[in-house]
Structures are given as C-alpha cells and as structure tokens.
Amino acid sequence: MSSKEITTDLSRKDQRFLDVAIALAKTSKCRNKHGAIIVSNGRVLATGVNVDKNNPMVFDCDLLRKTSSSVHAEVAAIKSLR
C-alpha cells in the first residue's frame, strides 16, 4: 500500500515525508511495522522505527518476552534527537 492510497489531502512536501515514514516502517523487524519522522521547518530532524525490546523483569514467560514488548517508532525517533 502506498501513502497515496491512504490520504489525498496532503501537500507534496508532506506527501514526501509520509513516503519516507512508510519506507522506514518497511525496515522494521517487528510483525506490525511502524515508522516515524520528526520534521521542523521542512527539515528532517529524526527518524525511527519500532523495534523489539524485551525486559525479562516485566515478563515472566518466555513466549511473552518474545512477542509482547517493543519500542514505538515515535519514541525511537525522539530518542535519536539527543
């Protein structure tokens, strides 16, 4: 699915940023793939994709550890601003 199938009311510039986020999402190794892009004044400041992050202190079952914990793409993008 391309971003053009998702929305049609974006400017060309916004459409390009959305296309970047979609391309980023495809690089995620998670089952549900998400990408995020932080833009200010037309300039890309940061990008991120969701990634698995399993904390054995939170989950007491191997199955849950393998399937239930991830870092959101938006959080990954914000952390990369540092």
First and final C-alpha spacing in the chain = 32
pLDDT for residue 58: 46
> Do the Cβ atoms of 10 and 22 come closer than 8 Å?
no
pLDDT for residue 10: 87
**Entry pTM:** 0.69
User: Block means of pLDDT (10 residues each) for the chain, length 82 residues?
Assistant: 62 93 93 93 94 58 59 89 82
Domain ranges of the chain: 3-79
Pick the CATH number of 3-79 from 3.40.140.10, 1.10.10.10, 3.40.50.300, 3.30.460.10: 3.40.140.10
